[in-house]
Amino acid sequence: MSGASDVIIVGGGLMGSSAALFLRGHGLSVTLLETDLIGRQASGTNFGNVRRQGRPIHQLPLANRAIAIWRKSRELLGADVEYLQSGHIRVCYRDRPELVGSMEDYAANARMEGLDLELVSGNVLRDKFPFFGPDVLAGSYSPTDGHANPRLAAPAFARAAARLGAVIHENTQIVDAQKVGEDFIVTAADGRTFRAPILLVTAGAWGNALSSQFGEPVPIVPKGPTMSVTEPVPYAILPTVGVMTPLEQETVYFRQVARGNIVLGGSTRGPSFPDQYRAYVEPQNTVSQLKHIRRLAPSLGRLNIIRVWSGIEGYMPDSQPVMGPSATTSGLYYAFGFSGSGFQIGPGVGETMAEIIAKGATDIPTEPYRVERFTTQA
């Protein structure tokens, strides 16, 4: 037996790393196990949007909890994760005027959850942000959203957790998990075992491999969103920008980092290979992404991209995560399958899971995320 603790966490992305930090805050001993290095998968490769606007209304309490943590991240983590409350604009195009109504409805409901949004016409937007193209009909501005650096975030949470005593094993892939008596025993590929009465699965796109071992298979689909970044140019674009549309192809977004590079994301997602821990960018997806970026902001057509990448994200059929206790096994908890939008809420997920585990309850609504929605026949 390599180690015993109060809680074992399998998966060292943002969810596992932040849960480890907050569990230490509740005084529980924690062992965090990660196949690769901390925060190299979805949490380290994502676009970096720290945005509440656009999330389902039922998710806003969780997102609000997260934003409070992002705001104090520097003090909490003792590291700069480049969190910037720079604003977020969601726009719709002229060929979908009905979306203006959706934006208005959304803003009214979001306000009740404490998120203030401002609806702006295309012309006013173009006055303030001349990079928007003529196709942009209207936008919804969220001054309190922003972005952060995904490469830095999860590792900073894990280092902070380790400073508070969490034990972290990288290069440790869990291949078997069982409940034996009161304890979970998890076994790594190299034969090491770890024991604890509580097991938290934060294994991202790989979550189903573990939940299946407890009779709870879920229909998770791994995919790789398409990302690009430009050469650095003078810092001029403060807010993060994204398109509201029902079409995956048209869903593009961008942000400029303080260094000057503009990060571009979205449009068609590519295949990913969880078994190999690799996701590849399909060149045709890069070309199509850039086409849709030109529609959103034609002047970006003058720039060059210097790198593309992708990452492995687990998508659920209803785009909502599996988050909460197992229905088959006491002491077992899940938080995975964040369906392309787990970065912003990540720290809130960690704090909420720690609360559920340490206190047995939380005020944050988690009903929509129950694992039973996939495992019990209606």
Partner 1 sequence: MAEQRMSPRVIIVGAGPAGTRAAQACVQAGVRPILLDEGRRDGGQIYRRQPDNFTRPYAKLYGSEAGRAQALHETFNGLKSAIDYRPETLVWNIAGGQVWTASATYADAIPFDALLLCTGATDRLMPVKGWQFAGSYSLGGSQVALKSQAVSIGHNVVFMGSGPLLYLVASQYVEAGANVVAVLDTAPYSARIKALPDLLAVPSVLWNGVTLTMKLKRAGVAVHNGVTPLEIIGNADSGVSAVRFRTGAGTEQDIVCDAVAMGHHLRPETQLADLARCAFAFDPGTRQWLPERDSDGRSSVAGVYLAGDGAKILGARSAEASGRLAALAALADLGLPVDKGEMTSLRGDVGTYAKFARGLAKAFPWPSHQASQLPDDAILCRCEGVTAGDLRGIMRQTGAKEANRAKAFSRVGMGRCQGRYCGLAAAELIAAEADIPIEQVGRLRGQAPVKPLTIAIGDDQ
CA distance 177 to 187: 6
Which of residues 203 and 293 has its CB atom nearest to partner 1 in the complex?
293
| 204 counts as binding ligand FAD under rule CB under 6 A | yes
For ligand FAD, the binding residue among 5, 31, 46, 326 (CB under 6 A) is 46
**Residue of 7, 30, 31, 48 that binds ligand FAD (CB under 6 A):** 48
By a kind-dependent CB cut-off of 5 to 8 A, residue 293 interacts, out of ligand FAD, partner 1, none, with partner 1
Q: Which does 159 bind (CB under 5 to 8 A by kind): ligand FAD, partner 1, none?
A: partner 1
Looking at the Cβ atoms of 256 and 352, the one nearer to partner 1 is 256
Q: Give the binding range for ligand FAD (CB under 6 A) out of 105-113, 118-126, 308-316, 357-365.
A: 308-316
Cα 140 from Cα 169, distance rounded (Å) = 43
SS3 label, residue 58: helix
Residue 334 in contact with ligand FAD, rule: CB under 6 A: no
Contact call for residue 354 and ligand FAD (CB under 6 A): no
Q: How many CB atoms lie within 10 A of CB 172?
A: 21
Distance CA 162, CA 276 (A): 28
Is 47 near ligand FAD (CB under 6 A)? yes
Q: Binding segment for ligand FAD among 24-32, 91-99, 103-111, 200-208 (CB under 6 A)? A: 200-208
Q: Could you say whether residue 311 binds ligand FAD (CB under 6 A)?
A: yes
Dihedral over Cα of 179, 184, 185, 188: its sign: positive
Stretch that binds ligand FAD, among 63-71, 160-168, 283-291, 309-317 (CB under 6 A): 309-317
Nearer CB in complex with ligand FAD: 81/137: 81
Rg of the chain over CA atoms, in angstroms? 21
- What SS3 state is found at 113? coil
259 binds, among partner 1, ligand FAD, none (CB under 5 to 8 A by kind): partner 1
The vertex-117 CA angle with 112 and 121, nearest 5°, equals 140
Which residue number, 122 or 142, has a Cβ lying nearer to ligand FAD? 142
DSSP string computed for 175-202: EEEEEETTEEEEEETTS-EEEESEEEE-
Interface mask toward ligand FAD for 228-267; x: CB under 6 A: -------------------------------------x--
306's contact among ligand FAD, partner 1, none, with CB below 5 to 8 A by partner kind, is: partner 1
Does 211 interact with ligand FAD (rule: CB under 6 A)? no
3-state SS assignment for residue 99: helix
**Out of 23, 162, 227, 357, the residue judged to bind ligand FAD by CB under 6 A:** 227
Residues in a beta bridge with 88: 142, 240
- Alpha-carbon distances, residue 298 vs 111, 121, 195, 236, 259 (angstroms): 32, 18, 56, 15, 22
For residue 230 the two structure tokens come to 């430009």
Q: Is the Cβ of residue 293 or residue 354 nearer to partner 1 in the bound state?
A: 293
* Minimum distance of ligand FAD from residue 78's CB (angstroms): 21
Rounded CA separation 90/86 (Å) = 13
What is the rounded CA–CA span in Å between residue 313 and residue 277?
11
Q: Which residues are near partner 1 by CB under 8 A?
A: 37, 40, 44, 79, 151-152, 155, 159, 230-232, 259, 280-284, 286-287, 290-291, 293-294, 300-309
DSSP per position, 231-285: PP--S---SEEEE--S-TTT-EEEEE-TTS-EEEEESS-B-EEGGGTEE---HHH
Tokens of 28: 């529980």
Q: How far is the CB of 97 from ligand FAD (least distance, A)?
A: 27
Least Cα distance to 9 among 149, 152, 157, 217 occurs for 157
Between the two ends of the chain, the Cα-to-Cα distance in Å is 41
325 binds ligand FAD (CB under 6 A): no
Using CB under 6 A as the criterion, which residues of the chain lie in contact with ligand FAD when the complex forms? 10-16, 33-36, 41-43, 45-49, 173-174, 202-206, 225, 227, 265, 310-311, 313, 336, 338, 340-344, 346
